[in-house]
Amino acid sequence: MIFEVLLRVFFFWFIFLKIGLHSIQTQTSFTASANPEAVYVGEILDLEFSLVNGNWGELELPDLGLFQIISGPARSFRTSVVNGQTERRTSYTYRVRATEEGNFRLQPARLFSGGLILKSNEVDIMVLKASDRDKDSPEFLLKARLSCDTCYLGQQITLDLELYTRKRITDFAVLNEPSFPALHSRRLTNLRNFQTTRDTVNGELFNKRVLRRYILFPQRAGEFGGQVFDLRIVEEDQNPRWRGFFRLGGEVHYRSVEVPAFWVFNQPPNTPENFTGHIGKFELVTANGNNQLQSGELMSMNVIIRGDGDPVTMSPPGFDISGGLHLSDIRLNREDVIELDGRLRTTREWQVLFRADSVGEHSISPYLIAYDPVQDSFYRRDGRPVFATVEPGEPSDFGISSDETEVTSVTDQVEINLFRHPLSWIGISLMATAFLLFLFFKRRNKTEDSIDAVNRLKRSMEEISNRKYDAPKEHCGALLNALDGYISSMIELPMSEWEDENLKSELAKVFAPDKVLKILQLRSSLIAGTFGYSAHNAELIARELHDWLEEKE
């Protein structure tokens, strides 16, 4: 009886302790932010107040001065779990209009919650004159931005393709994506964390959006750059009848940008003698502990490196080894590459073998001597040391001190025949009939859509042929726009993913192989003619496209 009472007391004490620790680890914060932080006079911005891990109370706004409240507050809730910790965020958002120019600093807001008074941070907002906006300046600018112009072998370099615009866009496509010789390149697939921001160019405000990010790893020293990207940008339709209901495609713009020049060197200056060649941020982990072995045996240990290294060439760490052990072999066990915070994070694990040559207590300490290009300094990372006790004697048959145990898993197999009952056959027949009807009507609708798309393309080509153009590139551009519209209606791939292989594989689902090659060839000619790389006869391309449509029918 006494034992049960003590057990219950211990159980409740443990629960209260866990709740208390959780409340200590959970921090409450109250913040304020403006989006965007720079606007013209008369423009609207969002002023957001957020409470994390707390109960919302009464909000006291700061003096907004020359900012006029248009609407709000709009209330939102969000719950997330990070590393086992639950975060509850409550946000109130006001839409305000800037009425005068200047640099403004809003004082902290106050929130009265549960007997506490929480204060937010200050918010800085820059308001420019509306007359400062140059109406003759371009509406779209394209930039290629590198993370460094002086780089080193093995360094992870980011190349951002940035679009600066003062209009909304509905779609874009990279018409020409160059290759990067002597560079290992990879395009990031997840850009959800890259939000649209505001930036100034020559004193003008633009909305900045990262369209593509490429990760580059140089494989040799030298000068690089000069590659050209060509983009097709579709502006949102400004027709007020549809605004607010659909985002229809409007005017089409073509832009090109050249990758800036940058230089790659073999290694940073003042490199220490034991530099392991790692550039960036890294972690070093040792995967096993102490060992006991006999003289002449091999000792195995695993080391893991995670960081910014090149997935192809990232090297193992260095080792500080006592005199009785010698490095015998290094084998790559596994490697993994993930996208994290807009960069590539590479994980490599090696199995390292050491031979015991003398009796006694010995140690192995893995280490990294890496260079941080952001801080412009070298740093050291040490793994957990591994100790070995070597005793006299003959080595085992296998020569490796660690034992390997085979684990066999036995799974009972149960056979269940569900097709013996007659009702199962009735159900299967009904599902098969429904599936066949679905395929029939889907093919019929797809055929009708294909015919409509062909007719629309023919009408567009007829209208284009009746127009007069000042330059052949304008004629090619109009044909390219019509052809891309036809392709968009035939495939489900968004234009932002129209790379060569992707587009070819999608078209192969609709057209015969020879038709795919022909339409890609015509599209390449129109792209070259539009950007002026070489002279192309738009009328001849239009006739070939018309013949292609007739043959397809």
- Domain at 84, CATH number: 2.60.40.740
Bridge partners (DSSP) of residue 119 are 110
Residue 270 lies in a domain: no
Furthest-apart CA atoms within the chain: distance in Å? 101
Burial level of 282, CB count in 10 A (0-12/13-18/19+)? buried
Q: Domain range spanning residue 467?
A: 448-552
Phi, psi of 328, deg, nearest 5: -105, -45
User: Containing H/E element for 445?
Assistant: helix 422-465
- 235/338 same-domain check: no
Residue 491 lies in a domain: yes
Per-residue pLDDT of the chain (553 residues; tens, 9 = 90+): 554 545 554 555 555 444 444 444 457 888 998 887 877 787 778 889 988 888 888 888 888 888 888 877 888 887 776 556 777 888 888 888 888 888 888 899 888 877 788 888 998 888 887 655 555 557 788 899 999 999 999 999 999 999 998 887 888 888 888 888 889 999 998 877 677 787 777 777 788 889 999 999 999 999 999 999 988 888 876 655 444 444 455 778 888 889 999 999 999 999 998 899 999 999 999 877 557 888 888 888 899 999 998 888 889 999 999 878 888 889 998 889 998 888 999 999 999 998 888 888 888 999 999 999 999 999 999 998 988 888 887 654 444 444 433 333 333 333 444 445 555 667 677 777 777 766 655 555 455 456 777 888 888 888 888 887 777 777 888 888 888 888 888 887 777 677 777 788 888 888 888 888 888 888 888 887 776 545 667 888 888 888 888 876 5
How many CB atoms within 10 Å of residue 68?
A: 12
From residue 175, alpha-carbon distances to 172, 254, 329 in Å are 9, 9, 48
- 144/191 same-domain check: yes
Phi, psi of 150, deg, nearest 5: -120, 110
Q: How far apart are CA 287 and CA 302, in angstroms?
A: 5
Residue 77 lies in a domain: yes
Phi, psi of 215, deg, nearest 5: -105, 125
CB of 307 closer than 8 Å to CB of 346: yes
- 298/196 same-domain check: no
CB of 157 closer than 8 Å to CB of 343: no
- 224/150 same-domain check: yes
| Residue where a domain stops, chosen among 132, 163, 193 | 132
| Residue where a domain stops, chosen among 215, 234, 265 | 265
- 251/161 same-domain check: yes
- 182/219 same-domain check: yes
Number of H helices, E strands in the chain: 6, 31
Residue 406 lies in a domain: no
- 175/105 same-domain check: no
Between CA 221 and CA 225, with CA 222 as vertex, the angle to 5 degrees is: 125
Residue 442 lies in a domain: no
Length of the chain, in residues: 553
- For residue 253 the two structure tokens come to 């713009």
CB of 368 closer than 8 Å to CB of 286: no
- 526/473 same-domain check: yes
- 122/154 same-domain check: no
- For residue 514 the two structure tokens come to 């020879």
**Which conformational region is residue 519 in: left (phi greater than 0), alpha (psi within -120 to 50 degrees), or beta?**
alpha
Residue 272 lies in a domain: no
- 252/358 same-domain check: no
- Count of domains for the chain: 4
pTM above 0.75, yes or no: no
Residue 492 lies in a domain: yes
Residue 434 lies in a domain: no
Q: Which segments within 259-402 are labelled E, that is strand?
A: 262-265, 278-279, 282-286, 291-294, 298-307, 318-321, 325-340, 343-356, 360-372, 377-382, 386-391
Q: How far apart are CA 391 and CA 361, in angstroms?
A: 9
- 124/182 same-domain check: no
- 261/144 same-domain check: yes
| Residue where a domain stops, chosen among 103, 132, 161 | 132
